[in-house]
């Protein structure tokens, strides 16, 4: 069965050690893969998620030691939404205070309690209280109790000048459907997909354009069950919307194509297979530096250039 919705979100951060400390220790996500940016192997590519890194839970980062801060604006992902059990919001409010994490008072959007906060680079995130999420498995290594653990993505909010062209791609190509409005936000939902099934469009015509940098989301990736499903999405994108995707690129853990959607956000379509256990056991995910075959011969040079992480 085809599952639509978000596969992963990739962002830019500052120092790798600080990034690891925040996402693995403060937020309690599992580091499921420690590799490098295949296009720039002098920097890490860190993947966080649930126990196995299933699609819809994967938040990834390109960490650069001295990255300049980004600026949020039109053509960017505004907020990355993380789902937690409804009863966990009180726990998370106290935890953010204890960990000195900048956050806002809980509010309501689309009838859901939303607790917005920022990471150490200013990336905008929010915890969304989801009824029934307590019945979904929660991974924990002790930093955050499993009953309060993050259950993957609720969705993403995109800041665009005009929602209509982006909405057309979401519905016609990526398989989402309109699911209501709340003020300036329009919601789109993938049917039958709880984790990572939501995209909100925040229309803000005339707002300043964004600038990529630390704290910015680099791209949002959507799911394709396999190569055939991905190719069909690329065909519809070109035929119906006049947008050409890139050639397929092998990312070891999924295969990807990329395109700039009409609102300016970089989108990826990534296959569900083969997953993160393709080159190491689930029990030891994220512990060793993994390199793709074409970089393995340069391991010593790469390892020498990378900063140490705990």
pLDDT of residue 80: 98
Q: What is the pLDDT of residue 2?
A: 66
pLDDT at 105: 97
Which residues of the chain are under the pLDDT cut of 50?
none
For the CA atoms of 106, 109, 114, 116, what is the dihedral angle to 10 degrees? -80
Q: What is the DSSP string of the chain?
A: ----SEEEEEEEES-HHHHHIIIIIIS--EEEEEEEETTEEEEEEEEEESSS--TTSEEEEEE-TTPPB-B--BTEEEEEEEEEEGGGHHHHHHHHHHTT--B---EEETTEEEEEEE-TT--EEEEEEETTGGGS----SSSS-GGG---SEEEEEEEES-HHHHHHHHHHTS-EEEEEEETTEEEEEETT--TT-EEEEEE-TTPPBPB-SBT-EEEEEEEESSHHHHHHHHHHHHHHH--PPPPPEE-SSSEEEEEE-TTS-EEEEEES-S-GGGSS-GGGTTSSB---HHHHTTHHHHHHHSPP--
CB 56 within 8 A of CB 275: no
Note the pLDDT of residue 5. Answer: 96
Read off the pLDDT of residues 49-100 as tens digits, 9 standing for 90 and up.
Answer: 999 999 999 999 999 999 999 999 999 999 999 999 999 999 999 999 999 9
């Amino acid at each position: 069965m085809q599952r639509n919705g978000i596969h992963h979100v990739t962002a830019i951060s500052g120092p790798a050690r600080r990034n690891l400390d925040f996402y693995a220790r403060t937020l309690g996500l599992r580091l499921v893969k420690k590799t490098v940016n295949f296009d720039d192997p002098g920097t890490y590519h860190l993947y966080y998620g649930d126990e196995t890194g299933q699609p819809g839970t994967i938040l990834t980062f390109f960490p650069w030691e001295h990255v300049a801060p980004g600026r949020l604006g039109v053509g960017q992902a505004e907020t990355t939404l993380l789902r937690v059990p409804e009863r966990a919001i009180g726990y998370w409010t106290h935890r953010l205070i204890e960990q000195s994490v900048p956050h806002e008072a809980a509010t309501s959007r689309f009838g859901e309690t939303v607790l917005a906060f920022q990471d150490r680079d200013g990336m905008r995130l929010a915890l969304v209280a989801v009824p029934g999420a307590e019945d979904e498995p929660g991974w924990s290594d002790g930093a955050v109790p499993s009953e309060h653990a993050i259950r993957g993505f609720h969705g993403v909010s995109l800041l665009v000048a005009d929602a209509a062209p982006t909405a057309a791609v979401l519905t016609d190509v990526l398989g989402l459907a309109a699911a209501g409005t709340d003020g300036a936000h329009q919601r789109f939902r993938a049917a039958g997909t709880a984790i990572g099934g939501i995209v909100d469009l925040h229309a803000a015509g005339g707002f300043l354009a964004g600038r990529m940098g630390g704290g910015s989301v680099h791209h949002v990736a959507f799911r394709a069950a396999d190569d055939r499903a991905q190719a069909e999405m690329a065909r519809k994108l070109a035929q119906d919307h006049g947008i050409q995707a890139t050639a397929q690129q092998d990312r070891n853990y999924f295969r990807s194509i990329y395109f700039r959607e009409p609102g300016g956000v970089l989108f990826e379509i990534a296959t569900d297979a083969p997953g993160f256990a393709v080159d190491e056991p689930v029990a030891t995910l994220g512990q060793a530096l993994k390199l793709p075959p074409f970089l393995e011969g340069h391991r010593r040079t790469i390892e020498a250039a990378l900063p140490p992480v705990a």
